[in-house]
Amino acid sequence: MRVARMGLIAVWLVGIPLTVLHGLHPEGYSLYSRDASPVLETVAACGATLLAALSYGRWRQSGLAPDVITCAAFGLLAAGNLLFALLPTVTTSDAVPDSVRAAAFMSGAAAAMLLMLASLVPERRTRLHRAQTDAPALILAVLVAASIAAIVASYAGGEFGHLRGTVSTEATASESALGIEITQIIAAAAFAVGSVRFARRGARNNDGFYAWLAVTAALWALARTNYVFTPMRAGATEVTLGDWLRLAAYVVAVVAAAAEFTSYWLRLAHSAVLEERRRIAHDLHDGLAQELAFIATQSRALAGKSERLSSVARAAERALDESRRAIAALTRPVDEPLDVALAQQAEEIGGRLGIRVLLELEPVQSVSSGTKEALLRIAREAMTNAGRHGRPSKIVVGLSNGHGVTLRVSDDGRGFRPDDPRVFAGGRYGVAGMRERAEALAGSFVLQSRPYGGTRIEVWVP
């Protein structure tokens, strides 16, 4: 959004002085080229067609009235470029009739008015039915609009019979025909209004497509204004400043629309992934977690009768905790900050264990998904061990973000001797796993504890 806003400001700040200089010295801003103009018209036809297709995809996704009108505007521009400009130029060996030139010019002006209308209408949803019917209906509407432009041009043939140069929906040269210049100025004003309105809508909705469409409309407005000062081009031998501005407008619009289309598919894929994660989490919660909870409850009830049953009970509890961790990880947003995820996990574990949890968390934004997952697992293991073995009244979870990320979990429980062999085997094997996770991230792991003096675990990762 910021880049688009700066681009829009740059277009107006640079384009307006160039337009003034073009008006004062029109011959100084022209380049002789026999073949460049037909190439530019081909690029314009292809660009408008691609814009119409991409805008149709955006409308099918959003269903908003401005998007369908934008699609219609690009569709009319594409129809004018293809039917009235490119096709007659390629297939006709003689001079293109004045009525066809006028039809191309009028369809371009009508597209400018439609784009302005798209920037003005409220963002209300249209009635979408099926792609099988919506696309033909939209194409039919565009062809009808192009036909109306051709009919109007034929009746106004006398006024628009002074068009010269390459047949185009935008680029024109005339023999000082006032009607043509007025039409160009009206189209330029429509694009300027559209530029302002699209910029406001993009800023209000944080919509990058509208922001870049504002830049496109500004370039078209300046191009139309420059065409008013374009000298007459005999046989398509001149490429002017307006041509370069017009080409830049198509490039910006196509890139913005393609980026929007790519972003839509990425959002669709992301949504599908999240939906599948939620489904798996639901299945785990209703299936595996429930069965493990039953096994853990029953084995705890029988644990006093046999050491083996006690081991089974502890294994069932660890498996239940692991299933809960997996469910929490699956339901957690992928881009959720570490401090937010840690706070939610700590509150969930504290509520389940019936222990008061105090949080001392600093915001942490830039951390990889692997590091975040490892730190969350270490915190879960530390809190679970404290609840099971230490019987504390409170657990303090801290997170600091300075030179690296530091995780601290401390409690006021019974504590233990760190040099006890059982810390790394049997009932407290989780300490070794926490150390291994920290070292795998090129970090450090510190364990401090003493009998009846609480336990403190500190993990640092770069």
CB 216 within 8 A of CB 202: no
Class of domain 336-462: alpha beta
**pLDDT at 96 > cutoff 70:** yes
Quick: pLDDT tens for 398-424.
988 878 889 999 998 888 877 766 655
Over pLDDT 70: what percentage of the chain?
A: 81
Residue found under tokens 């050491």: 307
Range of lowest pLDDT (260-269, 324-333, 447-456): 324-333
Predicted confidence at residue 37, as pLDDT, reads 67
**pLDDT at 187 > cutoff 70:** yes
In order of 274, 285, 294, 381, the CA distances from 288 in angstroms are 20, 6, 10, 20
Q: At what angle do helices 2-24 and 241-286 cross, to 10 degrees?
A: 170
Long-range interactions of 425-430: CB distance < 8 A, separation 24+:
427/314, 427/389, 428/385, 428/389, 430/381, 430/384, 430/385
Distance CA 410, CA 424 (A): 19
Predicted confidence at residue 149, as pLDDT, reads 79
pLDDT higher for 275 or 117? 117
CATH 3.30.565.10 residue ranges in the chain? 336-462
Distance CA 239, CA 237 (A): 7
**Residue 114, both tokens:** 């439609």
Predicted confidence at residue 268, as pLDDT, reads 74
**Residue 47, both tokens:** 């660009």
Predicted confidence at residue 88, as pLDDT, reads 79
Predicted confidence at residue 274, as pLDDT, reads 73
How many CB atoms are closer than 10 A to CB 127?
6
Give the closest residue to 393 by CA, choosing from 452, 440, 344. Answer: 452
Predicted confidence at residue 233, as pLDDT, reads 46
CATH 1.20.1070 residue ranges in the chain? 2-263
Task: Kindly indicate the confidence band of residue 428, based on its pLDDT and cuts at 50, 70 and 90.
Answer: very low
Calculate the average pLDDT of the chain.
80
**pLDDT at 295 > cutoff 90:** no
Distance CA 380, CA 457 (A): 12
Strand partners, 396: 358, 410
Helix boundaries (H) for 361-429: 369-385
In order of 16, 114, 226, 402, the CA distances from 108 in angstroms are 22, 10, 15, 58
Over pLDDT 90: what percentage of the chain?
A: 12
Predicted confidence at residue 194, as pLDDT, reads 93
**pLDDT at 157 > cutoff 70:** no
Quick: pLDDT tens for 263-293.
777 777 777 777 777 777 776 666 776 777 7
Predicted confidence at residue 219, as pLDDT, reads 93
Distance CA 342, CA 205 (A): 31
CB 112 within 8 A of CB 224: yes
Instruction: Give the CATH number of domain 2-263.
Output: 1.20.1070
Task: Give the distance, in angstroms, between the CA of residue 90 and the centroid of all CA atoms in the same chain.
Answer: 39
**pLDDT at 232 > cutoff 70:** no
Burial 264-295 (b: 16+ CB within 10 A, else e): beeeeeeeeeeeebeeebeebbeebbeebbeb
How many CB atoms are closer than 10 A to CB 29?
22
**pLDDT at 253 > cutoff 90:** no
- Which stretch, 33-47, 224-238, 287-301, 364-378, has highest mean pLDDT? 364-378
Distance CA 223, CA 225 (A): 5
**pLDDT at 100 > cutoff 50:** yes
Task: Kindly indicate the confidence band of residue 305, based on its pLDDT and cuts at 50, 70 and 90.
Answer: low
Degrees to nearest 5, angle at CA 37 with 36 and 38: 95
Predicted confidence at residue 160, as pLDDT, reads 66
**H or E stretch covering 331:** helix 307-331
Average pLDDT score over residue span 365-394: 83
Task: Kindly indicate the confidence band of residue 111, based on its pLDDT and cuts at 50, 70 and 90.
Answer: very high
**pLDDT at 34 > cutoff 80:** no
